[in-house]
Structures are given as structure tokens and as C-alpha cells.
Structure 1
């Protein structure tokens, strides 16, 4: 799968996929980002490297919920050393993970047997990371969303 990133560092991907359990046992539900996106807008949600507030690396142009998850389009800054490095690393396939930084507003209780469902979250930042908590949260090739959607339909129809 070829990852697309433009010469000037513009890329797209999914920072979260609805209904998928992450490594921390959380499941983001559809609509969880709506209020936060409407309040902040893409320009007030930071793009960081590895969730480090000392490492802003670019800006988000678009953040929106789709039927699959949280679709993002952003631009890495060529005026920041780490941004230039990441443009090369993304292009070469060395890094492609996305991860969300947030505060929980409304969620179900978490137990050993049941995952915590996140119904509303306050989205602060989205980071490019080496290892995302949600494995399918990635800078993506254009067809990734459709592949995820089709796989989800197959899994739910066989259960």
C-alpha cells in the first residue's frame, strides 16, 4: 500500500476508527468528536510528534467524522526540522501512525470484561506516532477507509 504525501507535506488519514478496541481497552463511538470539532475547529487542534507538546510539526486543515472514523488532512511544516524529517519518513514508509490526545467527557464504565466506550471526548491534539494505540489509525493510502469499512461489515455479518 502506497502512502500519499505531497511534495509540500500534505497528507490524509484516519486518527481514529469507530467501534474498534485500542490497546488501552477504549472504543471511540461515532459522534464522540462532534462537539469538540465544532467548538475548536481544525486550526485549534494541534499536530504533534509522539504526543510531545514541545514538538509541534504542522497544522490540520480538516478534521471530520465520517461513517468510518475521524478523517484528517494536515500539512507537515517544512520550516520545522522534525517536519522535514517526517515528510521523508512518511514518504519512505518509516512512520505512518496517528494517535489522538484527548480528555474524556462522557464514557461508559470500564471493567475487566468490558471495554470503555467513549461517547464524547474533548480532542486536544492528534500526533504522528511510531506505534499508535489503535493499530489501524494511520496516515493512509486513498483506499484505506473503504477497506476498513468492508472488513468491518464482513466481521459483523459473520458474528
Structure 2
């Protein structure tokens, strides 16, 4: 491992994970500012400005797999800083077994967060009076990983996106219940598609002995409260 390349992590519950439109695509905070992590480091606002300006490719790994010679499972785009931290969009290669595993692990909350692999600039680190390392500037960002145990407990995935075909694959009330449980922040078009698919299921209930009236009534009640985004 390059001794100058630091790993800095962030907990999943602060990554703001959401599910949306395109399968395998998610967004989130790879790191946040002004938080003391488990390594006694604090990333300061503006620390990623140099690497964002450089525009070099940033890979997506699982548990910093590059350290063990593993392949990336995707890449990051549209990285930017806001008042909270480093935010970006990532696309997982779903044709890879490791990519599919990582996708579903995030979706089912089986992972703990995101973690960066980055190198601070030579003069970009300051030690404060408490002995904490303040990182003012990174000169290189190699990757952002999905990890099992992040050091920075505020790192968050904000959205996992789905393909519209997933809605079309809903065939039973049980499927619909699972989708409502797992997915949020639908676009207007996908919300309409979801409601339309549910109506098809409800209209078929008389021909399908597998649908009990209690389940039908419950789904109808939930649909009545479902609001299509403006």
C-alpha cells in the first residue's frame, strides 16, 4: 500500500441512501467536512477542490479492493463539494458478480458506508492543538469504496436507482408490497407507472385465487395515500 494514500470512511446512515431510476446507479457523500473520524482526522471544506478540478477518473471498489489486486466495480462522476462534504454519482457494472453483490448489499443495508482512498497534498495537512490531523487539501483521489466499517460515521449513499423494467416486473400484491417497502423518491413518470401496474394487479384479483381480499384492501388503501411527484 502506498503509505501516502489515506483511507477515510463515512457511516452509511449518514450517506442518505435513496432508490430511483437507473439500475446500478447511486449517489452519496464519500466524505463529509468538520467531522472527527476514528483515525482522529478532520477533512476541511475545500479539501477536494483540487482533485475535482483535475477531473481524473475515480473508481468504485468494495472495501478498497485495489489493495488486494481486485478490479473496480464501477466509477464515480459529477463529484462536487457542497456545505456538507464530497458528493457524487456512481455507476455499478451490474454484469459483474461483485457489482451485483455490492448493489444488493447497499440496497438491503448490509454495508456500513463509503470510504475514500486519497492522498493529501504535501502542505495540505495541519496538526491542531488537540493532536488532530486537519486535511485542507487532497492532491489525488484514487477511489471511493463501499465498505463494511467506515471511519467517518457520516458518509452516506443518497440514492440507488432502478430501471423502469423493475416496476413492469411486478406481478403480484406481494411484489408490490416489497417494492413500496424498498423504494423511495420515484420520478413522476415512474410513480405513474407504479400506480398503473398496481391497478392492473387489482383488476386481475378475481381471476387469481392467490390474492386474498385483505391484501387487496391493504394495497388499495396504500394506493389512495400515494402521491405522484409534482
Structure 1, residues 105-157: CA drift from partner, whole Å, max 9, x if none? 1110367x331100111211111101111011121369xxxxxxxxxxxxxxx
- Structure with higher helix content: 2
Q: How much does 1:91 deviate?
A: 1.3
Structure 2 partner of 1:4: 18
Matches within 5 A, 1:14-25: 14-25=29-40
Q: How much does 1:8 deviate?
A: 1.1
Unaligned 5+ runs, structure 2: 1-12, 161-230
8 Å CA contact 2:26, 2:159 repeated in 1? no
Structure 1, residues 48-105: CA drift from partner, whole Å, max 9, x if none? 1111111311111221101110012111110111111111111111125100101111
User: How many equivalent pairs are there?
Assistant: 139
Taking only aligned residues, the RMSD between alpha carbons, in angstroms, comes to 2.1
Structure 1 partner of 2:137: 120
8 Å CA contact 1:58, 1:74 repeated in 2? yes
Q: TM-score, with normalisation over the residues of structure 2?
A: 0.56
Match 1:26 to one of 37, 41, 50: 41
Q: Structure 1 runs of 4+ off > 3 angstroms?
A: none
| Distance in structure 2 (CA, Å) of the matches to 1:3 and 1:123 | 22
| Distance in structure 1 (CA, Å) of the matches to 2:73 and 2:99 | 5
8 Å CA contact 1:60, 1:75 repeated in 2? yes
- Structure with higher strand content: 1
Structure with max Cα Rg: 2
Which SS does the other structure have where 1:27 is aligned? Answer: strand
Match 1:40 to one of 44, 47, 55: 55
- CA spacing shift, 1:135–1:55, aligned 2, 3 Å: farther
Q: TM-score, with normalisation over the residues of structure 1?
A: 0.79
| Distance in structure 1 (CA, Å) of the matches to 2:159 and 2:75 | 20
Q: Does 1:90 align with 2:106?
A: yes
| Distance in structure 1 (CA, Å) of the matches to 2:159 and 2:59 | 22
